[in-house]
Structure 1
Amino acid sequence: MDAPLTPVPALVLCGGRGTRLGGSTEKPLVTVCDEPMVDRVVRALEGSRVSTTHAVTSPHTPETRARAADVLGVDTIDAPGEGYVEDLRYALDHVAEPVLTVVADLPHLAPEHVDRALADACAGGTPTSLTVCVPVDLKHRLGVSVDTAFDHEGRELAPTGLNVVAGGTETVSVVDDERLAVNVNHPRDREVAEERCD
């Protein structure tokens, strides 16, 4: 695999309260396989070709911010906490594109997922924006929630929360991988994620 043309930083979106999961634990700190989800995502990024990792936290996730800075040793960007899209836009103003973005609720993210997204985004020589998706029917087979879906070339897809932002042309990468199909948004999603612990 060719290396990305330029160093690519990563943003981990960590601003969620986790209210749909129940309890009082901040969403990025909810454990899967006895480990906070944010730890698992950061470890996957560290094993990949990204150059640096930044945790995008919010006023709703002060404990996540502390863990990211003090335990995980990653830089933090303190977003306003007005929602996923708003916080992402805020964070994108603090790093240069291209940038890889990923949600903290994707506990089975692996370095090869990240490297494939970077390679796909840089395949044409000039980095392009990329949205990594899984088939909705895969999520249905696993019994996990589908919060967002769209039709692409006659196929219903769900974004995984793994993207490359590079401006210009935007492409869709479809990955039929159970590890990318489990975003932990509801208690049942967490159960399914736990069933896939090594």
Structure 2
Amino acid sequence: MIGLVMAGGKGTRMKLDGEKLLLQYKKPVILHVIDSLQNSNSFSKILAVTSSNSPKTKKLLQENNVETFDTSGLGYVEDLNSALKIIDDAVLVTSGDLPLLDMEIIQNIISHFDPKNIWTSILVTNKFLTSLGMESTYTVDFDNQKCHYTGISLINSKKISSLNNLKENYIIIDDKRIAFNLNSKEDFNLLSTT
């Protein structure tokens, strides 16, 4: 399995001068994500997807011996599609802005991988997310509940010919380590209270 970290976004919702993934939570946020994947010992390769939007993030990753793959930076879906075209393996994809991620939750998520499914998105329930004081605009109704995407998916890239009309499966894992992503300054401020 390949660990794919999305690290090429602008982070415009944060309204920062610098790059979002370089925000410090004991160390740069992106390194929490990389370390959780490395420490899980679950991946044959870890690849960070970068773009011209994140040059300092790319430099930090390379200084930490993380392989990077440059994309256009046009958007999450476009960048992910570019990366998946070069991968012929099972993939865990995660956004780079999950500072509470650790090896245990990564191993838990991987245990749900089913190669029969092309795409499985990991969700948290709205009830759980709001109990953390957080909110998200990306919602889906699943299992009679309003849920939110975590930015983590399990993908069987061998079965993908196009990202159009994919059958998406869902798994709910209400855990703050995957619910806590940084989309706003309020999210970052909440992080310091955890």
TM-score by length of 1: 0.87
Pairwise mapping of residues 30-179 of structure 1 onto structure 2 (< 5 A)? Answer: 30-32=23-25, 34-48=26-40, 49-70=42-63, 72-122=64-114, 126=116, 128-166=118-156, 167=159, 170-179=168-177
Q: Is the 8 A contact 2:105 2:177 kept in 1?
A: no
Q: Please state whether the residue corresponding to 1:121 is helix, strand or coil.
A: coil
Give the C-alpha shift of residue 138 in structure 1.
1.4
The answer to whether structure 1 residue 184 and structure 2 residue 182 are counterparts is yes
* Shift, 1:150, TM fit: 0.8
Distance 2:141 2:2 in 1: 29
- Regions of 4+ moved over 4 Å: 125-128
- Any unmatched runs of 5+ in structure 1? 1-7
Distance in 1 between the 2:100 and 2:2 partners?
20
Do the aligned residues in 2 keep the contact of 1:182 with 1:192 (CA within 8 Å)?
no
**Secondary structure of the structure 1 residue equivalent to 2:121:** strand
1:195 aligns with 2:193: yes
Q: 1:23-76 deviations in whole A, cap 9, x for unaligned? A: 2111211122x2111000000000111221111001100111111111x21110
Task: Give the TM-score normalised by the residue count of structure 2.
Answer: 0.89
Percent identity (aligned): 29
1:126/1:152 CA distance change after superposition, 3 Å? closer
Instruction: Single out whichever of 78-87 and 96-105 deviates more from structure 2.
Output: 96-105
- Partner Cα distance (1:30, 1:126) in 2: 38
Equivalent pairs, count: 185
Name 1:9's counterpart in structure 2: 2
Deviation at 1:128, TM superposition (A): 4.7
Cα deviation, residue 127, structure 1: 6.2
CA distance in 1, matches of 2:126, 2:44: 31
**AA partner of residue 164 (structure 1):** L
Unaligned runs of 5+ in 2: 161-166
Deviation at 1:147, TM superposition (A): 2.4
Q: How much is the aligned-residue C-alpha RMSD, in angstroms? A: 1.6
Q: 2:21 aligns with which of 22, 25, 28?
A: 28
Counterpart of 2:174, as a letter, is D
Tell me the distance in 2 between the aligned counterparts of 1:147 and 1:97.
31
